[in-house]
Protein backbone atom coordinates (compact mmCIF):
# COMPACT_ATOMS: atom_id res chain seq x y z
CA UNK A 1 0.00 0.00 0.00
CA UNK A 2 1.30 3.47 -0.90
CA UNK A 3 0.19 6.94 0.13
CA UNK A 4 -3.09 7.71 -1.65
CA UNK A 5 -3.51 11.41 -0.84
CA UNK A 6 -1.11 14.37 -1.08
CA UNK A 7 -1.22 14.87 2.70
CA UNK A 8 -1.30 12.15 5.36
CA UNK A 9 -1.46 12.31 9.14
CA UNK A 10 -0.11 9.39 11.14
CA UNK A 11 1.18 8.53 14.58
CA UNK A 12 4.67 7.43 13.62
CA UNK A 13 6.76 8.01 10.49
CA UNK A 14 9.49 5.38 9.98
CA UNK A 15 12.27 6.53 7.65
CA UNK A 16 14.02 3.60 5.99
CA UNK A 17 12.78 0.34 4.50
CA UNK A 18 15.67 -1.96 5.26
CA UNK A 19 15.35 -4.86 7.68
CA UNK A 20 15.53 -2.59 10.76
CA UNK A 21 12.99 -0.05 9.49
CA UNK A 22 10.51 -2.63 8.20
CA UNK A 23 10.74 -4.65 11.41
CA UNK A 24 10.11 -1.56 13.53
CA UNK A 25 7.19 -0.48 11.33
CA UNK A 26 5.52 -3.90 11.53
CA UNK A 27 5.99 -4.15 15.30
CA UNK A 28 4.67 -0.62 15.91
CA UNK A 29 1.65 -1.19 13.68
CA UNK A 30 0.84 -4.46 15.41
CA UNK A 31 1.01 -2.59 18.73
CA UNK A 32 -1.83 -0.41 17.48
CA UNK A 33 0.06 2.69 16.33
CA UNK A 34 -0.70 4.18 12.92
CA UNK A 35 2.52 4.01 10.92
CA UNK A 36 3.85 5.28 7.59
CA UNK A 37 7.15 3.69 6.49
CA UNK A 38 9.01 5.50 3.72
CA UNK A 39 12.09 4.12 1.98
CA UNK A 40 13.52 2.09 -0.84
CA UNK A 41 13.09 -1.69 -0.56
CA UNK A 42 16.34 -3.26 -1.74
CA UNK A 43 15.53 -6.73 -3.01
CA UNK A 44 18.66 -7.29 -5.09
CA UNK A 45 20.97 -10.12 -4.04
CA UNK A 46 24.33 -8.69 -2.94
CA UNK A 47 26.10 -11.61 -1.29
CA UNK A 48 25.19 -10.48 2.22
CA UNK A 49 23.43 -12.56 4.84
CA UNK A 50 22.11 -11.94 8.35
CA UNK A 51 22.63 -14.26 11.32
CA UNK A 52 19.60 -13.81 13.56
CA UNK A 53 20.21 -14.90 17.14
CA UNK A 54 17.63 -16.47 19.45
CA UNK A 55 16.30 -13.18 20.86
CA UNK A 56 15.74 -11.84 17.34
CA UNK A 57 13.94 -15.05 16.36
CA UNK A 58 11.66 -14.64 19.38
CA UNK A 59 10.91 -11.10 18.20
CA UNK A 60 9.89 -12.27 14.72
CA UNK A 61 7.91 -15.19 16.13
CA UNK A 62 6.07 -12.86 18.51
CA UNK A 63 5.09 -10.73 15.51
CA UNK A 64 3.86 -13.85 13.71
CA UNK A 65 6.10 -13.26 10.69
CA UNK A 66 8.69 -16.02 11.08
CA UNK A 67 6.69 -18.73 9.22
CA UNK A 68 7.24 -16.67 6.06
CA UNK A 69 10.95 -17.60 6.16
CA UNK A 70 10.72 -21.34 6.83
CA UNK A 71 12.98 -23.29 4.49
CA UNK A 72 15.03 -20.17 3.70
CA UNK A 73 17.39 -20.25 6.67
CA UNK A 74 20.17 -22.43 8.08
CA UNK A 75 20.63 -23.05 11.82
CA UNK A 76 23.84 -22.11 13.62
CA UNK A 77 24.31 -25.05 15.96
CA UNK A 78 28.01 -24.56 16.66
CA UNK A 79 30.55 -21.73 16.35
CA UNK A 80 34.28 -22.38 15.99
CA UNK A 81 37.04 -19.76 16.18
CA UNK A 82 40.47 -20.62 14.74
CA UNK A 83 43.53 -18.43 15.25
CA UNK A 84 45.47 -17.80 12.03
CA UNK A 85 47.30 -14.64 13.10
CA UNK A 86 50.68 -16.31 13.60
CA UNK A 87 50.84 -14.82 17.09
CA UNK A 88 53.95 -15.60 19.13
CA UNK A 89 51.72 -16.86 21.92
CA UNK A 90 49.79 -19.87 20.61
CA UNK A 91 46.07 -19.16 20.80
CA UNK A 92 43.79 -22.18 21.16
CA UNK A 93 40.93 -22.84 18.80
CA UNK A 94 37.59 -22.48 20.53
CA UNK A 95 34.39 -24.31 19.65
CA UNK A 96 31.10 -24.01 21.46
CA UNK A 97 27.66 -25.44 20.85
CA UNK A 98 24.18 -24.07 21.36
CA UNK A 99 23.27 -27.21 23.31
CA UNK A 100 25.54 -26.00 26.13
CA UNK A 101 22.98 -23.27 26.92
CA UNK A 102 19.91 -25.37 26.22
CA UNK A 103 19.27 -24.24 22.64
CA UNK A 104 19.01 -26.27 19.45
CA UNK A 105 20.81 -23.44 17.62
CA UNK A 106 22.25 -20.04 18.43
CA UNK A 107 20.17 -18.62 15.62
CA UNK A 108 19.42 -18.80 11.90
CA UNK A 109 21.31 -17.41 8.89
CA UNK A 110 19.31 -15.92 6.00
CA UNK A 111 20.15 -13.97 2.85
CA UNK A 112 19.63 -10.26 3.47
CA UNK A 113 17.55 -9.66 0.35
CA UNK A 114 15.28 -12.61 1.18
CA UNK A 115 14.63 -11.17 4.65
CA UNK A 116 13.97 -7.64 3.35
CA UNK A 117 11.67 -8.79 0.53
CA UNK A 118 9.68 -10.94 2.95
CA UNK A 119 9.35 -8.16 5.50
CA UNK A 120 8.25 -5.73 2.77
CA UNK A 121 5.50 -8.13 1.66
CA UNK A 122 4.35 -8.50 5.27
CA UNK A 123 4.45 -4.74 5.85
CA UNK A 124 2.29 -4.19 2.77
CA UNK A 125 -0.34 -6.51 4.27
CA UNK A 126 -0.26 -5.16 7.84
CA UNK A 127 -3.14 -3.20 9.36
CA UNK A 128 -2.32 0.36 10.49
CA UNK A 129 0.76 0.45 8.22
CA UNK A 130 1.39 2.21 4.92
CA UNK A 131 4.63 1.25 3.13
CA UNK A 132 5.55 3.94 0.61
CA UNK A 133 8.39 3.53 -1.88
CA UNK A 134 10.24 6.83 -1.86
CA UNK A 135 12.57 9.12 0.04
CA UNK A 136 12.14 11.96 2.50
CA UNK A 137 13.23 15.21 0.90
CA UNK A 138 12.87 17.61 3.83
CA UNK A 139 11.48 17.70 7.33
CA UNK A 140 10.16 20.48 9.57
CA UNK A 141 9.94 20.17 13.34
CA UNK A 142 6.80 21.65 14.88
CA UNK A 143 6.07 21.83 18.61
CA UNK A 144 3.57 18.94 18.54
CA UNK A 145 4.42 17.11 15.31
CA UNK A 146 6.99 16.66 12.57
CA UNK A 147 6.15 17.52 8.97
CA UNK A 148 7.95 15.57 6.25
CA UNK A 149 7.93 16.39 2.55
CA UNK A 150 8.80 13.41 0.37
CA UNK A 151 10.83 13.63 -2.82
CA UNK A 152 7.69 12.83 -4.84
CA UNK A 153 5.76 15.70 -3.24
CA UNK A 154 3.70 13.76 -0.69
CA UNK A 155 3.55 15.29 2.78
CA UNK A 156 3.35 13.32 6.03
CA UNK A 157 2.62 14.72 9.50
CA UNK A 158 3.45 12.53 12.51
CA UNK A 159 3.79 12.76 16.27
CA UNK A 160 7.11 10.91 16.08
CA UNK A 161 9.69 10.02 13.44
CA UNK A 162 11.80 6.88 13.83
CA UNK A 163 15.05 7.24 11.88
CA UNK A 164 16.04 3.88 10.42
CA UNK A 165 17.56 5.50 7.34
CA UNK A 166 21.09 4.22 7.80
CA UNK A 167 24.55 5.58 8.42
CA UNK A 168 23.95 8.77 6.41
CA UNK A 169 20.61 9.39 8.12
CA UNK A 170 18.85 12.54 6.90
CA UNK A 171 16.59 12.60 9.96
CA UNK A 172 19.55 12.38 12.34
CA UNK A 173 21.24 15.27 10.55
CA UNK A 174 18.08 17.40 10.46
CA UNK A 175 17.53 16.75 14.17
CA UNK A 176 21.02 18.07 14.92
CA UNK A 177 22.24 14.83 16.49
CA UNK A 178 26.02 14.55 16.23
CA UNK A 179 28.04 11.37 15.85
CA UNK A 180 31.44 9.94 16.70
CA UNK A 181 32.93 8.16 13.69
CA UNK A 182 36.07 6.15 13.02
CA UNK A 183 37.55 4.00 10.26
CA UNK A 184 39.50 0.76 10.03
CA UNK A 185 42.24 -0.19 7.54
CA UNK A 186 40.01 -2.99 6.25
CA UNK A 187 37.62 -3.86 3.46
CA UNK A 188 34.97 -6.56 3.94
CA UNK A 189 34.32 -8.94 1.07
CA UNK A 190 30.94 -10.69 1.27
CA UNK A 191 29.74 -13.48 -0.97
CA UNK A 192 27.65 -16.62 -1.14
CA UNK A 193 29.55 -19.86 -1.68
CA UNK A 194 28.87 -23.37 -2.93
CA UNK A 195 31.18 -26.08 -1.62
CA UNK A 196 31.80 -29.81 -1.82
CA UNK A 197 31.52 -30.74 1.86
CA UNK A 198 28.51 -30.10 4.15
CA UNK A 199 28.85 -27.30 6.71
CA UNK A 200 27.08 -29.39 9.40
CA UNK A 201 25.48 -26.18 10.73
CA UNK A 202 28.86 -24.97 12.03
CA UNK A 203 29.96 -21.36 11.63
CA UNK A 204 33.75 -21.09 11.45
CA UNK A 205 35.71 -17.90 12.05
CA UNK A 206 39.39 -17.73 11.08
CA UNK A 207 41.16 -14.89 12.91
CA UNK A 208 43.86 -13.32 10.70
CA UNK A 209 46.04 -10.22 10.98
CA UNK A 210 43.71 -8.47 8.53
CA UNK A 211 40.62 -9.40 10.52
CA UNK A 212 38.30 -12.40 10.61
CA UNK A 213 37.37 -14.60 7.68
CA UNK A 214 34.03 -16.18 8.55
CA UNK A 215 32.03 -18.99 6.98
CA UNK A 216 28.37 -19.08 8.02
CA UNK A 217 25.97 -21.93 7.12
CA UNK A 218 23.36 -21.17 4.47
CA UNK A 219 20.31 -23.14 3.35
CA UNK A 220 20.54 -25.42 0.33
CA UNK A 221 19.42 -24.41 -3.14
CA UNK A 222 17.80 -26.89 -5.58
CA UNK A 223 21.03 -27.53 -7.48
CA UNK A 224 23.50 -26.58 -4.73
CA UNK A 225 23.07 -28.69 -1.57
CA UNK A 226 26.10 -27.29 0.30
CA UNK A 227 26.18 -23.51 0.70
CA UNK A 228 27.64 -20.93 3.08
CA UNK A 229 28.04 -17.19 3.25
CA UNK A 230 31.43 -15.53 3.55
CA UNK A 231 32.52 -12.37 5.34
CA UNK A 232 36.25 -11.80 4.81
CA UNK A 233 37.99 -8.71 6.19
CA UNK A 234 41.21 -7.77 4.39
CA UNK A 235 43.50 -4.85 3.66
CA UNK A 236 42.54 -2.31 1.00
CA UNK A 237 45.44 -3.52 -1.17
CA UNK A 238 44.33 -7.14 -1.01
CA UNK A 239 40.73 -6.12 -1.67
CA UNK A 240 41.76 -4.24 -4.82
CA UNK A 241 43.77 -7.22 -6.05
CA UNK A 242 41.00 -9.71 -5.36
CA UNK A 243 38.37 -7.44 -6.91
CA UNK A 244 40.13 -7.92 -10.25
CA UNK A 245 40.56 -11.71 -10.01
CA UNK A 246 38.60 -14.09 -12.24
CA UNK A 247 35.91 -15.89 -10.27
CA UNK A 248 37.75 -19.22 -10.39
CA UNK A 249 40.94 -17.66 -8.96
CA UNK A 250 38.99 -15.87 -6.22
CA UNK A 251 37.27 -19.14 -5.31
CA UNK A 252 40.67 -20.82 -5.02
CA UNK A 253 42.01 -18.07 -2.74
CA UNK A 254 39.00 -18.45 -0.45
CA UNK A 255 39.49 -22.21 -0.34
CA UNK A 256 43.15 -21.72 0.60
CA UNK A 257 42.32 -19.12 3.28
CA UNK A 258 39.90 -21.52 5.02
CA UNK A 259 42.27 -24.50 4.78
CA UNK A 260 39.93 -26.39 2.41
CA UNK A 261 37.60 -26.87 5.37
CA UNK A 262 34.59 -27.29 3.07
CA UNK A 263 36.39 -28.86 0.12
CA UNK A 264 36.23 -27.26 -3.31
CA UNK A 265 34.62 -23.81 -3.15
CA UNK A 266 32.85 -21.81 -5.85
CA UNK A 267 31.76 -18.19 -5.50
CA UNK A 268 28.06 -17.75 -6.32
CA UNK A 269 27.07 -14.73 -8.36
CA UNK A 270 27.71 -11.17 -7.21
CA UNK A 271 29.67 -10.37 -4.09
CA UNK A 272 30.53 -7.02 -2.60
CA UNK A 273 33.44 -5.06 -1.14
CA UNK A 274 32.63 -2.65 1.71
CA UNK A 275 34.97 -0.28 3.62
CA UNK A 276 34.93 -0.92 7.36
CA UNK A 277 33.96 1.93 9.66
CA UNK A 278 32.35 2.59 13.01
CA UNK A 279 29.89 5.20 14.20
CA UNK A 280 28.00 5.96 17.38
CA UNK A 281 25.38 8.69 17.70
CA UNK A 282 25.93 11.13 20.56
CA UNK A 283 22.25 10.87 21.47
CA UNK A 284 19.49 8.45 20.51
CA UNK A 285 16.76 11.06 20.18
CA UNK A 286 16.06 14.66 19.23
CA UNK A 287 12.89 16.73 19.02
CA UNK A 288 10.24 14.13 18.05
CA UNK A 289 12.91 11.97 16.40
CA UNK A 290 14.32 8.69 17.67
CA UNK A 291 17.23 6.71 16.18
CA UNK A 292 17.26 2.97 15.52
CA UNK A 293 19.58 0.65 13.62
CA UNK A 294 22.50 2.05 11.65
CA UNK A 295 21.25 5.59 12.14
CA UNK A 296 22.36 5.05 15.76
CA UNK A 297 25.32 2.65 15.58
CA UNK A 298 27.68 1.01 13.09
CA UNK A 299 30.53 -1.43 13.64
CA UNK A 300 32.37 -4.19 11.71
CA UNK A 301 30.54 -7.46 10.96
CA UNK A 302 32.06 -9.47 13.81
CA UNK A 303 30.10 -11.86 16.01
CA UNK A 304 26.90 -11.17 14.01
CA UNK A 305 25.85 -8.33 16.29
CA UNK A 306 24.66 -5.69 13.79
CA UNK A 307 21.03 -6.43 12.91
CA UNK A 308 20.46 -8.22 16.21
CA UNK A 309 21.32 -4.97 17.99
CA UNK A 310 19.02 -3.04 15.63
CA UNK A 311 16.11 -5.38 16.32
CA UNK A 312 16.58 -4.83 20.05
CA UNK A 313 16.27 -1.11 19.28
CA UNK A 314 12.95 -1.78 17.54
CA UNK A 315 11.59 -4.03 20.28
CA UNK A 316 12.61 -1.55 22.99
CA UNK A 317 10.99 1.35 21.12
CA UNK A 318 7.69 -0.54 20.89
CA UNK A 319 7.81 -1.26 24.62
CA UNK A 320 8.57 2.34 25.60
CA UNK A 321 5.84 3.75 23.35
CA UNK A 322 3.27 1.20 24.57
CA UNK A 323 4.07 2.16 28.17
CA UNK A 324 3.81 5.88 27.38
CA UNK A 325 0.45 5.39 25.66
CA UNK A 326 -0.88 3.37 28.61
CA UNK A 327 0.00 6.28 30.90
CA UNK A 328 -1.58 8.83 28.59
CA UNK A 329 1.78 10.41 27.74
CA UNK A 330 2.85 11.99 24.45
CA UNK A 331 4.74 9.33 22.46
CA UNK A 332 6.95 12.01 20.91
CA UNK A 333 7.83 13.85 24.10
CA UNK A 334 11.39 14.21 25.33
CA UNK A 335 10.41 12.28 28.47
CA UNK A 336 9.25 9.29 26.44
CA UNK A 337 12.23 9.29 24.09
CA UNK A 338 14.66 9.67 26.98
CA UNK A 339 13.20 6.45 28.40
CA UNK A 340 14.07 4.75 25.10
CA UNK A 341 17.62 6.11 25.22
CA UNK A 342 18.02 4.89 28.80
CA UNK A 343 16.82 1.44 27.76
CA UNK A 344 19.26 1.16 24.85
CA UNK A 345 22.38 3.15 25.68
CA UNK A 346 24.33 0.54 27.69
CA UNK A 347 23.63 -2.31 25.24
CA UNK A 348 24.75 -0.20 22.27
CA UNK A 349 27.85 1.01 24.14
CA UNK A 350 28.92 -2.49 25.17
CA UNK A 351 28.38 -4.05 21.72
CA UNK A 352 30.00 -1.22 19.77
CA UNK A 353 33.07 -1.07 21.98
CA UNK A 354 33.33 -4.84 22.38
CA UNK A 355 33.43 -5.39 18.62
CA UNK A 356 35.89 -2.50 18.22
CA UNK A 357 38.28 -3.96 20.80
CA UNK A 358 38.07 -7.45 19.29
CA UNK A 359 38.73 -6.17 15.78
CA UNK A 360 41.66 -3.99 16.81
CA UNK A 361 43.18 -6.84 18.83
CA UNK A 362 43.36 -8.91 15.64
CA UNK A 363 45.06 -6.10 13.72
CA UNK A 364 47.77 -5.63 16.36
CA UNK A 365 50.90 -7.79 16.57
CA UNK A 366 51.93 -6.09 19.83
CA UNK A 367 52.79 -8.97 22.17
CA UNK A 368 50.82 -7.77 25.25
CA UNK A 369 47.71 -7.45 23.08
CA UNK A 370 48.26 -10.94 21.67
CA UNK A 371 48.77 -12.23 25.20
CA UNK A 372 45.53 -10.73 26.49
CA UNK A 373 43.55 -11.99 23.50
CA UNK A 374 45.04 -15.48 23.85
CA UNK A 375 44.43 -15.55 27.60
CA UNK A 376 40.84 -14.48 27.06
CA UNK A 377 40.19 -17.22 24.51
CA UNK A 378 41.90 -19.79 26.73
CA UNK A 379 39.69 -18.79 29.67
CA UNK A 380 36.64 -18.88 27.42
CA UNK A 381 37.59 -22.38 26.27
CA UNK A 382 38.47 -23.84 29.67
CA UNK A 383 36.06 -22.29 32.18
CA UNK A 384 32.60 -23.76 31.69
CA UNK A 385 30.52 -21.23 33.66
CA UNK A 386 32.29 -18.34 31.89
CA UNK A 387 31.68 -19.96 28.49
CA UNK A 388 27.99 -20.41 29.15
CA UNK A 389 27.55 -16.92 30.59
CA UNK A 390 29.21 -15.28 27.58
CA UNK A 391 27.25 -17.43 25.13
CA UNK A 392 23.95 -16.48 26.78
CA UNK A 393 24.93 -12.82 26.74
CA UNK A 394 25.86 -13.03 23.06
CA UNK A 395 22.58 -14.51 21.85
CA UNK A 396 20.03 -13.58 24.53
CA UNK A 397 21.39 -10.44 26.25
CA UNK A 398 19.94 -11.46 29.61
CA UNK A 399 18.67 -8.66 31.80
CA UNK A 400 18.11 -6.17 28.97
CA UNK A 401 15.65 -7.95 26.68
CA UNK A 402 12.49 -6.05 25.72
CA UNK A 403 9.18 -7.83 26.29
CA UNK A 404 8.85 -8.85 22.63
CA UNK A 405 12.12 -10.80 22.91
CA UNK A 406 11.47 -12.58 26.17
CA UNK A 407 10.93 -16.32 26.24
CA UNK A 408 7.15 -16.02 26.52
CA UNK A 409 6.29 -12.69 24.89
CA UNK A 410 2.74 -11.40 24.76
CA UNK A 411 0.87 -12.72 21.76
CA UNK A 412 0.72 -10.16 18.97
CA UNK A 413 -1.88 -9.65 16.27
CA UNK A 414 -1.10 -11.56 13.09
CA UNK A 415 -0.53 -9.46 9.98
CA UNK A 416 -3.43 -9.09 7.58
CA UNK A 417 -3.12 -11.38 4.59
CA UNK A 418 -3.70 -9.78 1.21
138: three-class secondary structure by DSSP? strand
- pLDDT of 31: 97
Asked if 259 and 192 touch (Cβ cutoff 8 Å), the reply is: no
Pairwise CA distance, residues 131 & 85, whole Å: 47
- pLDDT of 396: 61
What residues contact residue 140 under an 8 Å CB cut-off, 6+ apart?
Answer: 146, 147, 148, 149
Q: From first to last of the 418 residues of the chain, give the pLDDT tens digit.
A: 678 788 999 999 999 999 999 999 999 999 999 999 999 998 777 888 999 999 999 999 999 999 999 999 999 999 998 887 666 666 778 888 899 888 899 999 999 999 999 999 999 999 999 999 999 999 999 999 999 999 999 999 999 999 999 999 999 999 999 999 999 999 999 999 999 999 999 999 998 888 889 999 999 999 999 999 999 999 999 999 999 999 999 999 999 999 999 999 999 977 899 999 999 999 999 999 999 999 999 988 776 678 999 999 999 999 999 999 999 999 999 999 999 999 999 999 988 888 887 777 665 554 455 555 555 665 556 555 655 666 666 666 655 789 999 865 544 444 443 3
Asked if 312 and 397 touch (Cβ cutoff 8 Å), the reply is: yes
Instruction: Give the number of other Cβ atoms within 10 Å of residue 114's Cβ.
Output: 18
Pairwise CA distance, residues 209 & 228, whole Å: 23
378: three-class secondary structure by DSSP? helix
pLDDT digits (tens, 9 = 90+) for 351-393: 888 888 777 766 555 445 555 555 566 555 655 565 566 666 6
- pLDDT of 215: 97
Give the count of alpha carbons within 13 A of 275, CB side only.
Answer: 8
- pLDDT of 418: 33
Give the count of alpha carbons within 13 A of 136, CB side only.
Answer: 29
**Can you list the pairs that 322-330 forms with residues at least 24 positions away whose Cβ atoms lie under 8 Å?**
322/31, 325/32, 325/33, 330/159
Q: Tell me the domains of the chain and their CATH numbers.
A: 7-181+278-405 (3.50.50.60)
Helix axes 19-30, 306-326, angle to 10 degrees: 20
pLDDT digits (tens, 9 = 90+) for 287-331: 999 999 999 999 887 766 789 999 999 999 999 999 999 999 999
Pairwise CA distance, residues 223 & 360, whole Å: 40
Burial 51-85 (b: 16+ CB within 10 A, else e): bbbbbbbbbbebbbbbebbeeebbbbbbbbbbbbb
Residues composing the chain: 418
Alpha helices for 142-210 (secondary structure H): 170-174
Q: What is the pTM of this model?
A: 0.90
Amino acid sequence: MSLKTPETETGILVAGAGAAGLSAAIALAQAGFSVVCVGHVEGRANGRTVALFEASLRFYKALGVWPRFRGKTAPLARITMIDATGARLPVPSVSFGASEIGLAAFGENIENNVLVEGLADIASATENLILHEGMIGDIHFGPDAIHATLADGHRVTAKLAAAADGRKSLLRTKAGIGTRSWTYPQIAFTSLLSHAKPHRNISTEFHTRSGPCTLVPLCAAPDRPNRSSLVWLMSAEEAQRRRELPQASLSQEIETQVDSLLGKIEVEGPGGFFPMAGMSANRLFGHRVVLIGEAAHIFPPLAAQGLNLSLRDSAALVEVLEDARALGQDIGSARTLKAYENARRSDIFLRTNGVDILNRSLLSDFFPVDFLRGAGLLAFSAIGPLRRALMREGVLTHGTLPRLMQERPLKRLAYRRA
